Amino acid sequence: MLRPEPCLRAAEVSFGYASLRVVHEASLQVGPGETVVLLGPNGAGKSTLVKGIIGQLPLLSGTLDLNGSDISRTPAQIRVRQGLGYVPQIRDVFPTLSVWENLTMGGYLLARSGIKERAEQVIGDFPALDRLRRRRAGTLSGGERKMLAIARALMAKPSVLILDEPTSNLAPLIAAKVLEEIVASLAGAGQAVLMIEQRVELALQVATYGYVLVQGQMRLDGHAAQLQETEDLSSLFFSGGAAPLHGGPEAATRGLA
């Protein structure tokens, strides 16, 4: 199965904190209509990789392309302008602002005249938010809050939407709803989605493609259906990455696809 032309491409990127390199020469790509999941045990470096992609951490080596432009040295705010949307794992909305105000802040980069129209469009895509317009975001339920967080990020019409563990702190039923209804519908609408997720089975049901990061190295990648059938996937997680799958880091470039 061929993958679409990527709008986001990370080629052998390394990120870290001060002198500590956490992610080592990892590569991934996301194209329109794809939901790409980034899997891995705790401490594998998934959040570090995403923080690097959105510009919160400096790139130590490798290259980052967004829609064909090199964004390796581009400041975080400019990356947003160039089409990178981000929903953090926690602190994903402005709790003291109303739902409507959160949406308008998501569309901060749009022309003043277009913000209201865009917010109405986004609310049209998330009708549950319609009756909550005036509610303070901090008073929403977990599922409503995550819906708002994703809607806020979509306001700027990002070419790639990055979701950092969208189901963390959610009850299982709500988590399934977020992934199966909200995230799946994004890809259906042609949105490129890169998602970190700990609920592996559920994530692979929704995703089209997946990468497995272990100890900062991309150990495995492939179409979601193929990854679901990979017997060693759970052992890779539980071993904490001690036992590399398919011959170690080289597998990252080879993948399953």
Q: Which is nearer to other proteins, 107 or 244 (CB)?
A: 107
x/- letters, 25..64, toward other proteins (CB under 8 A): -----------------------------x-x--------
Distance, in Å, from the CA atom of 246 to the CA atom of 248, rounded to the nearest integer, reads 6
Choose one: 1-9, 83-91, 175-183, 235-243; the region binding other proteins (CB under 8 A): 83-91
- Nearer to other proteins (CB atom), residue 89 or residue 205: 89
HEC readout, the chain: CCCCCCCEEEEEEEEEECCEEEEEEEEEEECCCCEEEEECCCCCCHHHHHHHHHCCCCCCEEEEEECCEECCCCCHHHHHHHCEEEECCCCCCCCCCEHHHHHHHHCCCCCHHHHHHHHHHHHHHCHHHHHHCCCEHHHCCHHHHHHHHHHHHHCCCCCEEEEECCCCCCCHHHHHHHHHHHHHHHHHCCCEEEEECCCHHHHHHHCCEEEEEECCEEEEEEEHHHHHCCCCHHHHHHCCCCCCHHHCCHHHHHCCC
Site for other proteins in 88-147 (CB under 8 A): 88, 91-97, 101, 104-106, 108-109, 112, 115
Q: Which is nearer to other proteins, 40 or 106 (CB)?
A: 106
* Backbone φ, ψ for residue 134 (5° rounding): -95, -5
* Binding track, positions 217-246, relative to other proteins; x by CB under 8 A: ------------------------------
Report the DSSP beta bridge partners of residue 63. Answer: 11
CB of 94 to other proteins, least distance (A): 5
User: Which stretch in 18-26, 119-127, 152-160, 222-230 sits in contact with other proteins by CB under 8 A?
Assistant: 152-160
Select the span of 33-41, 79-87, 198-206, 222-230 touching other proteins (CB under 8 A). Answer: 79-87
Cross-strand bridge partners of residue 162: 86, 194
Query: Is 76 one of the binding residues for other proteins (CB under 8 A)?
Result: yes
Between CA 208 and CA 193 the distance in angstroms is 10
Which residue stretch of 4-12, 28-36, 150-158, 203-211 sits at the interface with other proteins (rule: CB under 8 A)? 150-158
Q: Which region, judged by CB under 8 A, interacts with other proteins, from 2-10, 21-29, 35-43, 73-81? A: 73-81
Distance CA 92, CA 151 (A): 11
| Closest CB to other proteins among residues 82, 228 | 82
Indicate the residue among 6 and 106 with the shorter CB distance to other proteins. Answer: 106
Q: In angstroms, what is the minimal distance from the CB of 25 to other proteins?
A: 26
Which residues here bind other proteins, judged by CB under 8 A?
54, 56, 76-77, 80-81, 86, 88, 91-97, 101, 104-106, 108-109, 112, 115, 152-153, 156
